[in-house]
Structures are given as structure tokens and as C-alpha cells.
Amino acid sequence: MRHVPNVPGAILSADAFMAPNELVGFFIAEQPRSVALHLHDFFELALVTQGTGTHQSGERRHPVRRGTAILIPPGALHGYELSEDLVVYNCFVRTEATEYDLPWIRRDDFLGRLFSGSDRALTDRTAGSSQTVIVALDEPELVCCLDHFDAIRTRPADDRSEAYDLGHLLLALDVLGRRVRAERPDLRSIDPRAPTIVVTTLELIESDLQRHWGLAELAAVVCVGQFHLARTFRRWVGQSTGAFANRRRAERAALLLTTTDDPVASIGARVGWEDPAYFARRFRRETGVSPRVYRARARAHQAGQRQTHAGAVAV
């Protein structure tokens, strides 16, 4: 098992846990007593299979035991403390999968609750608008998820495909999404029942992050009043159009910072923050660190992972 640095603020890279052509990777971790707050550039679905402990997201703490499922988005600080024989089966998903291979998941009735939930009881806002979803699975649900993860993890590398990996991943996520809806039916998502004005507004924002849409412009395009659009959008998405756009800009910038060598200022301009100083302020507000620090930490960790890739004792 690979070595994972247990230091505050560490940034984990998707490339450390999966091959460049893989969208899904795994890491079964026997956690020490405490795991320092860290973040990563991928989605993490953590299933607790043994022991007890406390999951920490920012200032919030949540007790965990067998059956606890935690979905951590990119850029969200999290860690563990007071762990006793804690074993966590981690599934890592590249952000490219949700952006390009599965762009519809935020509008799915079940999966949307995981990837675009509101700020109500099941979500912890940790770094800007990043959301961590925590839910308790019953034993059959946990076993079902583990079976799908094992199907991917144990399949020979030369026999795996994106369709196979994503198929099993979606079935596991569906179990989690259904449990979230069962526990909190009022936890809204972007699903097929969302009003057309909301779906169209999301598509307008997503299609060109360089454009700074004003509420009046968006309302004019979808042919409704500004107040009605603002209220309806917040009801279904859980935040304002401006906050949603800034979250997506930060997520796209984080991906580019860790997967390209493009200049920081150029990346800021590509996501709509042309002024480097303003880009740094906005990115820090969303992720907790500046773009340069985010990239430096990611590269330092990637270099360390390459040196220890042969294997070391897992934390």
C-alpha cells in the first residue's frame, strides 16, 4: 500500500492513486489515531468498514463507524481523529469524470443530491462552497457498495474499461444517493424535474466561465423576472447564480493548476478571473489557499508520491 503524508494541509493528487488513463482509483487505509486535515484534487467516497473515530471537516466533527459513507469534493479540508481500529475503503474519482464523462449527474434525482446538495444538515461547508456529504448506510447497502468497488479494484488492469469502471461506480453512488434522499427528502438536487429556467441558467454559466453573467442578463435570456430567477435558482441549486459560477471557476482552476504547466495568470484568465490579484483572492476564498500555494503543494506531493510509488506502509 502506498504512503500518504500525514501532515497538515497536504494536497493529494489523483495521479498518485490511479494510472493516467483511469478515472477511478482505490486506497484501503488503516487509519492511525489521527489524520491531519488535508485536501485533494479529486472526489473521494470513503466507506468506513471497521472501527470507530471522528471525521473532521473544518470546524465540524462527525462520529463514524462501520457503514458511515463520506463524499468529499475537491478542495475540501478534512481529516480523522480519535480513531480506534479505523479502516476506510476509499474510492477516488477524477474531476474529469464528473465534468466530461458524467456531466448529467447533477441533474439526476439521486446523484444530484451528492454533487449539488444544499447547505442543510447533511452537508458541511468546509472550504468556500465545497460540500462534504455524510450518511449512514445499513449493512446491505454497505455490502452492495463494497461489491461494486471490489468489482473495479480487483479486475485485471488490461481488462478494465471506462464503461466498466463508471458503470459500477454509478451503481454504488446510486445506493448512496438513495440513502441521502431517504434520510433527507428535502435535500434538493438538480434533477429532471428542475424548471427549464434553472437548467438553462446552469448551462449558460457552465458553457463559458470567462463570461460574468449578471442576473439581469440571465433573466433576459430565460425570459423571466430577475427576482423569480434568483429565488428559483437558489431553491434548486442551493446558492446564487454568482456563487455557483465562482465555485465552478475555482474547481476548474484547481484542475488546471494540478494537471497543466500553464502560468497561474493564464489559468485565472481561462476561468474568468483575468486580474491575477483578483484571481488569487477569489481562489483563496473558495479553497483556503492561493493558486500558487495550491499548485506548489500539489507538485510537492506528486514528486513525493513518485519517489515512494514502489510502496510503503500506509498511514
User: Domains in the chain and their CATH numbers?
Assistant: 10-188 (2.60.120.810), 196-301 (1.10.10.60)
Beta strands in the chain, from DSSP E residues, in sequence order: 10-12, 24-30, 35-40, 42-57, 60-64, 68-72, 78-94, 123-125, 131-136
pLDDT value, residue 247: 84
pLDDT value, residue 122: 31
Interatomic CA distance for residues 11 and 280, integer angstroms: 18
Task: Tell the residue number behind the cell numbers 465552478, with chain if given.
Answer: 248
Interatomic CA distance for residues 6 and 32, integer angstroms: 9
pLDDT value, residue 314: 42
pLDDT value, residue 315: 38
Integer angstrom CA distances of residue 195 from 97, 200, 202, 213, 247: 25, 9, 11, 19, 21
Q: What is the pLDDT of residues 153-185, one digit of tens each?
A: 999 988 889 999 999 999 999 999 888 877 655
Q: What is the pLDDT of residues 279-312, one digit of tens each?
A: 999 998 887 889 998 888 877 766 665 565 444 4
pTM recorded for the entire structure: 0.58
pLDDT < 50 regions, the chain: 1, 117-130, 186-189, 309-315
